[in-house]
């Protein structure tokens, strides 16, 4: 059985605030460079691949700014698609019903970590 990939540190837990700026982190998707991001919503950290479900472009309009002005939805800066932070499901816009690709995330001892999987891995050192 293959060994589970090691968790990767993203940031300190206190870097994330409900509905506030997120933290981007480098990932590799099937060997290609990309970014993931983590945000906090209703006290919980959620992480996703930084790609709109409509067209595969990065979501943030300014680096780390993923939420719309009310802090209730993640929003694609290009297409205006809005996503539910707790599920990544598109709640409105051109990709309604599609979803963001989630990345497993865990908080422990004041730190936020993401877990690589078969599709999304840590970038080469």
Report residue 1's pLDDT band, with 50, 70 and 90 as the boundaries: very low
With a CB cutoff of 8 Å and minimum separation 6, the contacts of 18 are 40, 41, 42, 43, 71
Q: What is the pTM of this model?
A: 0.93
For 54, half-sphere exposure in the C-beta direction (CA atoms, 13 angstrom radius) is 18
Pick the CATH number of 8-121 from 3.30.360.10, 2.102.10.10, 2.30.30.90, 3.40.50.150: 2.102.10.10
Average pLDDT (51-63) is: 89
pLDDT value at residue 20: 95
pLDDT at residue 66 tops 80: yes
Average pLDDT (28-50) is: 96
Residue with tokens 């730190």: 111
Give the strand order in the sheet containing 74-75. 74-75, 82-83, 90-92
pLDDT value at residue 2: 52
Spans of all domains in the chain: 8-121
């Amino acid at each position: 059985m293959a060994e589970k990939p090691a968790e990767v540190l993203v940031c300190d837990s206190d870097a994330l605030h409900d509905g506030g700026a997120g933290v981007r982190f480098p990932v590799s998707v099937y060997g290609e460079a990309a970014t993931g991001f983590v945000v906090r919503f209703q006290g919980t950290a959620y992480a996703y691949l930084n790609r709109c479900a409509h067209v595969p472009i990065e979501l943030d309009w300014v680096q780390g700014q993923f939420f719309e002005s009310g802090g209730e939805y993640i929003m694609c800066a290009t297409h205006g698609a809005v996503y539910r932070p707790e599920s990544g499901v598109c709640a409105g816009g051109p990709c309604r019903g599609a979803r963001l690709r989630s990345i497993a995330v865990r908080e422990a001892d004041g730190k936020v970590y993401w877990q690589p999987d078969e599709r999304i891995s840590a970038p080469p050192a």
